[in-house]
Amino acid sequence: MIGIDLGTTNSAVSVIEAGFPIVLADKENRRLLPSLVSKTNDNLYVGHEAIPHTPSQSVKSLIGREEVPPSYNGGPTKIMSGRIQVMAGDTWMSPVQVSAEILKTLKATAEFRLGKEQREAVITVPAYFNDRQRAETKEAAELAGLKVRRLIAEPTAAALAYGLERASENTKIAVYDLGGGTFDLSIIEMRKGNFEVLATAGDTDLGGDDFDTVLAELLDCSISEATEQKRAFDTASSVSGVTAEAYEKACWKLLERSRKCCERALIDSGIKKDGLDRIILVGGSTKMPMVRKHVAEVFQQEPDLCLHPDEAVALGAGIQAGLLDGTVQTLSLIDVTPLSLGIETLGGLMNVIIPRNSTIPCKKGELFTNAVDGQTSMKVKVLQGEREFTKDNWELGEFEVAFTPAPKGQARVGIQFSLDANGILSVLARDTSTQEDTHITIERSTVDITEVAVEKMIDESVDHALDDMDGRVFTEAKMKADELLPSLDEALTLVGEQLDEETKAAILASKSDVIAALESQNGAELKKAVEKLDDATEELASLVMQSILG
Ligand code: ADP
Ligand code: MG
C-alpha cells in the first residue's frame, strides 16, 4: 500500500521498503510532483511538464468548496451546475478531476518503482478539512483507481515520520508546517507510539506564495522570478541588492500572523513553551532561514531539523500505509509488559511472576511446592491481569508438571517465565529433584492487547483492590484454618489433659473465633483468629511432637 501527500503546491508518494519509508522518485528521479495539471489541445500534462502549459494551480484550496475563496490565485475559475471548475490549460476541469490526475501520476510513479499495480493508498489531508473536503479527496482517489484505506491529518503524518525512530519516547512536539499557501501548527503528544493532537491552529491563507509576493515587490520582478530568487536567500545574505534583513523586515506581517497561530495553539493545548520537547519543521517554506529564526524566537528553542521538510508528510502517509498492510509491524517498540503475568496457586489466587511494566525481554522465576502429600503432578495455569483471583484474570494457557512424590511442602518445582522482545511468553517448569523440564510457549503475544482492554483491567483492579485484597487474605487464612482445625481435635484428645485449664480455654476460644470468622467470610478477622489459634496451640503442638517421638 502506498502513502500520498496530496499537497496544495507539491505532492509525493511513499512506501515502506525493508521496514523504512522512502519517497519514490519518478523516471527523471524527481521526488516532488508539482500539483499542476494542464489539458491543452487534448494533451494532458501533469507536474513539471504542465508548467509551460498554463496549468491549474492550488486546486486543493478549492476541493470540497461551494465557492472560490477570495484569496484564491490559482487561475480562472467558474461555477458550473453548482460546482467549481478551474481552467487547466485550455480545458475546464473540476478540482476533483485535477486532483485525480495528480493521484494517477503518483500511482504510476509508484508502480514504475515497485514494479506492480497499486490499488490502495493512505492520503493525507489538512487537519481542518471538513467532511466534504475529505469526501471529494476520496472521490478523486477513486477516479484515479485508488481505494483510500485511510485519510490522515498532515501534522499527524509528520509526527509519525518523526516518531518512527523514537517510538519509545514520551514527548510533546509542535509540528510547524508552512507550505505554499497554507500554514498549520499542531501540538501533538506522543506516548509509546500513540499520537494525540492536543491543539491545532493555522491560517489557510498564509504560505510561501505570500513571501514570493513580498519579494516580487522588493525586487520589482514577476512572482515566478521572485519564487526562484527566494531560494537564493537560503544561503545568501543578499540577493540582487536586497539584504536578508531587509527581506525579513518586509515579511514581518506574515511572521506576525504565524506567531499569533502558534500562541493560540499553545494556549489551547495548555502546554507552556518549555513543556514542548521538539519543534518539527515541515513544508517547503520552513527552508527559509528567516522562518527558522522566527520559530526559534516564538518557541524559545531551536527547531528540530531532523525531518526533510518536503518529504515528512509523504513519509508519514507511507508509514500509516505500512501499519495497515503489516509492513511496519508496530510503531511502538513495545518495551514493557502492559499487564502482569503469573500462575494460579492454591485457592484460585494469582501469583505474579512478571509484574506489569517490566521491561522486555525479561526472565523471572519462582519456586513452588506441593500442596498435598504424595502429589505427583501440578497443574500450571498461566494468567495475565491485575486481579487477585484467577477468575478475574485472563487465562493464557495451562499445562501439567509431573514431579517426584514427596510429603506436603517438600517437592520443589521451579517455574520460569521468559518474555521475548515480541511479547511471546515461554513458561518452563522444572522438578528440582529430577531436573526434568516441562515447557510451553504461549503463542498469543502477551503485549498485543488493546489500550482499552489494558485500561479496563487496571481500572477494575483499582476498583476491586480492597475487595480483592480481603478476598486474598480470606483465601489464604482459610487454607491455614483448613489445615489447623482437623488436627486440633485429634491433638486435644491425644495430649489435651497435659495442658492447664487456662491454655485449653484459650485454644477453644480461638477455635470458635476461627469458626465464626469462617462463617462471616471476613478475611481480616479470619487472619487474626488463625494467628491467635496458631499461637495458642504452640504448647499443644510441641506436646504432640513429643508424644509422637516418644
Ligand atoms: P504544500 O504543502 O502547500 O504543497 P510545500 O510544503 O511543498 O507546499 O511548500 C511549497 C512552498 O515552499 C513554496 O512556496 C515554495 O516556494 C517553498 N519552498 C520550497 N523550497 C524552498 C526553499 N529552498 N527556500 C524557500 N522556499 C522554498
Ligand atoms: Mg504540505
**379 touches ligand 1 (CB under 6 Å):** no
If you count DSSP H runs as helices and E runs as strands, how many of each does the chain have, helices first? Answer: 14, 25
Which residue's CA is the closest to the ligand 1 atom numbered 11? 180
- 38: cell is 494542464
Of 72-81, 158-167, 467-476, minimum mean pLDDT range: 158-167
**Which ligand has the nearest atom to the CA of 204?**
1
- 507: cell is 485454644
Instruction: Report how far residue 122's alpha carbon sits from residue 441's, in angstroms, rounded to the nearest whole number.
Output: 36
Please report the sign of the dihedral spanned by the C-alpha atoms of residue 188, residue 191, residue 192, residue 195: negative
87 forms beta bridges with 92
Supply the DSSP string of 331-374, one letter for each residue. SS---B-SS-EEEEEGGGEEEEEE-TT-BSSEEEEEEE--SSTT
Q: Give the total residue count for the chain.
A: 550
Instruction: Report how far residue 19's alpha carbon sits from residue 148's, in angstroms, rounded to the nearest whole number.
Output: 22
Q: What is the pLDDT of residue 332?
A: 43
pLDDT above 90 for 123 = yes
**7 CA distance to ligand 2 middle (Å):** 5
44-68 burial, b at 16+ Cβ within 10 Å, e below that, comes to: bbbbebbeebbbbbbbbbbbbbeee
**283 touches ligand 1 (CB under 6 Å):** yes
**181 touches ligand 1 (CB under 6 Å):** yes
16 forms beta bridges with 21
Residues contacting 122, CB < 8 A, separation 6+: 1, 2, 3, 4, 148, 149, 150, 151, 152, 317, 318, 320, 321, 324
Instruction: Report how far residue 382's alpha carbon sits from residue 384's, in angstroms, rounded to the nearest whole number.
Output: 7
**180 touches ligand 1 (CB under 6 Å):** yes
**64 CA distance to ligand 2 middle (Å):** 18
- 397: cell is 494457557
Among 26, 101, 139, 177, the active-site one is: 177
Residues contacting 450, CB < 8 A, separation 6+: none
Written as one letter, the residue type at 62 is L
**Which ligand has the nearest atom to the CA of 227?**
1
Average pLDDT of span 378-384: 89
CB-CB neighbours of 297 under 10 Å: 11
Alpha helices (H) in 93-191, listed in sequence order? 95-114, 131-143, 154-163
Longest dimension (CA), the chain: 120
Instruction: Report how far residue 128's alpha carbon sits from residue 149's, in angstroms, rounded to the nearest whole number.
Output: 19
Domains delineated in the chain: 2-336 (3.30.420.40), 341-450 (2.60.34.10), 465-549 (1.20.1270.10)
**60 CA distance to ligand 2 middle (Å):** 11
443 is catalytic: no
392 is catalytic: no
Choice from 235, 285, 307, 315 to test ligand 1 binding pocket (greatest atom count within 8 A of CB)? 285
Q: What is the pLDDT of residue 167?
A: 61
Instruction: Report how far residue 464's alpha carbon sits from residue 470's, in angstroms, rounded to the nearest whole number.
Output: 10
425 forms beta bridges with 419, 442
Residue 525 DSSP symbol: H
Choice from 10, 251, 313 to test ligand 1 binding pocket (greatest atom count within 8 A of CB)? 10
Q: What is the pLDDT of residue 246?
A: 97
Which has more pLDDT, 262 or 339? 262
**184 touches ligand 1 (CB under 6 Å):** no
3-class SS at 463? helix
Which has more pLDDT, 353 or 198? 353
pLDDT tens string 403-446? 888 888 788 888 999 887 667 788 998 888 888 888 888 877 67
- 285: cell is 517554506
**234 touches ligand 1 (CB under 6 Å):** yes
60 is catalytic: yes
What atom in ligand 1 is closest to the CA of residue 7?
4
459 is catalytic: no
pTM of the full structure: 0.64
Q: What is the pLDDT of residue 399?
A: 85
Asked if 422 and 443 count as a contact pair (C-beta separation under 8 A), the reply is no
Asked if 100 and 141 count as a contact pair (C-beta separation under 8 A), the reply is yes
Average pLDDT of span 395-400: 87
3-class SS at 40? strand
pLDDT tens string 440-465? 888 776 766 776 777 788 788 888 87
For the chain, the average pLDDT equals 89
**126 touches ligand 1 (CB under 6 Å):** no
**77 CA distance to ligand 1 middle (Å):** 24
Average pLDDT of span 199-227: 92
Confidence class for position 29, pLDDT limits 50, 70, 90: very high
Cis omega (within 30 of 0) for bond into 76: no
**500 CA distance to ligand 2 middle (Å):** 92
**223 CA distance to ligand 1 middle (Å):** 14
**60 touches ligand 1 (CB under 6 Å):** no
Q: Phi, psi at residue 351, to the nearest 5°? A: -110, 110
Write the burial class of residue 301 (CB in 10 Å: 0-12 exposed, 13-18 middle, 19+ buried): middle
End-to-end CA distance of the chain: 83
Helix (H) or strand (E) holding 8: none
**179 touches ligand 1 (CB under 6 Å):** yes
Sheet with strand 436-442: strands edge to edge: 362-368, 413-419, 425-431, 436-442
Among 26, 136, 154, 310, the active-site one is: 154
What percent of the chain has pLDDT above 70?
Answer: 95
**310 CA distance to ligand 2 middle (Å):** 7
What percent of the chain has pLDDT above 90?
Answer: 50
